[in-house]
Amino acid sequence: MPVTRAVDERALELFEQHLTRFLATNARREPVAAQIAYHFGLDDPSAARQGKRVRPRLVMGAAAAYGARAERTLAACTAIELLHNYSLLHDDIEDGDELRHGRRALWAQYGLEHGINGGDAVGALAQLALEPVIDTHGAEIAFVMSMDLARANLRLCEGQALDLALAQGRGAQATLDTYLEMIDGKTAALFGCAAAMGAACASAAAEEVERSRDVGRLFGLGFQIADDVAGIWGTTQATGKAPGGDLARRKKTYPVLWVIDRDPDGAGREIARAYQGTADPDPAAAQRVRDVLDSCGAYAASRAAADTYFEEALDRALGTPSLRDFVVLNRT
């Protein structure tokens, strides 16, 4: 099926302008203003910290599926992108990542305390970004969107808490099932919220809003598994992070848990032993784990799992060309 309904660059430029104006108007007090400007690359246009804007693209794609123009989605796009960045700011701290989009993360640049506070500020801005919806779509839709965003925020935190517990060996056993439960909150919930809010921008019927949410959620599951693959086999140029960082931190991602669950030729037990303890990151040990993953088909199995979720998202989006196009163009 030809892809003909991609979000055009003009629409994305409108979003960028709206986001920039919103931040300039609502994040004015120092030092928070400078920190937020730094994180979003507004202090230096050459920093190229925009990212792919996948979630705003999904908002626009879902809205277009039910007849709404991109201009009617700008507040929702901004709220989704800000909540996403709020989670990134805290994730960088919790994971100890010092790089974000190829330069120092906010916490690494300004200090841990400012990193936490800056993340909280961006989270608050995400809710404030929905205020214009009252005028453009009505108070009822604005309220529904605000509650939807708050629920997605809670699911993000629940998923992150499970991720941390699995990494620390506390609580639930690290299996593929618990991993999928974790990413359903940590990643898929926000994609589901983005698609639902996009449909709401078009005043779509309740069942279509929920169908859009399903598309976003399924896409998000595939997206996170693909991101796990990139975290092991990707390059710094492609990911903006140091290569092999997930393995060095003993992060329990899909490829690792697939091998532990399946244990082909004892590889799972070998990786489980390598993942014992909470010592500082060990690049040499990470390379040994990478070699084991390479030897037992973890890459192919993980890519197949991601592609299965992408195909399920396409099936659920049947009859909504712009949603299907979003999945086709943004699957990784």
- Asked if residue 99 lies in contact with residue 239, where contact means CB atoms within 8 angstroms, the answer is no
- Burial class, 247, CB count within 10 angstroms (exposed 0-12 / middle 13-18 / buried 19+): buried
Q: Distance between CA 11 and CA 59 in Å, rounded?
A: 12
Q: What is the pLDDT of residues 21-57, one digit of tens each?
A: 999 999 999 999 999 999 999 987 665 556 789 999 9
pTM: 0.91
User: CA–CA separation, 258 vs 34, rounded Å?
Assistant: 42
| CA distances for 99 relative to 41, 96, 115, 237, 242, angstroms | 13, 9, 13, 12, 8
User: Can you name the residues that pair with 103 across neighbouring β-strands?
Assistant: 100
Domains parsed from the chain with CATH numbers: 9-330 (1.10.600.10)
CA nearest 61: which of 48, 76, 51, 49?
A: 76
Q: Which two tokens stand for residue 74?
A: 């700008």
The token pair at 292 is 């084991």
The alpha carbon dihedral of 68, 70, 73, 79 has a sign of positive
Q: Measured at the alpha carbon of residue 299, what is the angle toward residues 90 and 293, in degrees to the nearest 5?
A: 90
pLDDT (0 to 100) of residue 2: 42
- Scanning 202-282, the segments in alpha helix (DSSP H) are 206-233, 236-239, 245-248, 254-262, 267-274
pLDDT of the residue at 281: 61
What residues form DSSP beta bridges with 78? none
Q: Are the beta carbons of 246 and 228 closer than 8 angstroms?
A: yes
CA angle 281, 99, 277 (to 5 degrees): 15
The CB density around residue 156, as the number of other CB atoms within 10 Å, is: 23
Contact 127, 134 (CB under 8 A): no
Handedness of CA 56, 62, 64, 67 (dihedral sign): negative
Q: For the chain, 332 residues long, give each residue's pLDDT as a single digit of tens.
A: 344 455 678 899 999 999 999 999 999 999 999 999 999 999 876 655 567 899 999 999 999 999 999 999 999 999 999 999 999 999 999 988 898 888 899 999 999 999 999 999 999 999 999 999 999 999 999 999 999 999 999 999 999 999 888 877 765 678 899 999 999 999 999 999 999 999 999 999 999 999 999 999 999 999 999 999 998 998 666 555 665 677 887 888 999 999 998 888 888 888 888 887 655 666 778 888 899 999 989 999 999 999 999 999 999 999 999 999 999 999 98
Q: What is the pLDDT of residues 225-240, one digit of tens each?
A: 999 999 899 866 655 5
Instruction: Specify whether the CB–CB gap between 38 and 98 falls below 8 A.
Output: no
Q: What percent of the chain has pLDDT over 90?
A: 70
DSSP code of 66?
T
Radius of gyration of the chain measured on its C-alpha atoms: 20
For 16-49, the DSSP string reads: HHHHHHHHHHH--STTHHHHHHHHHTTT-GGG--
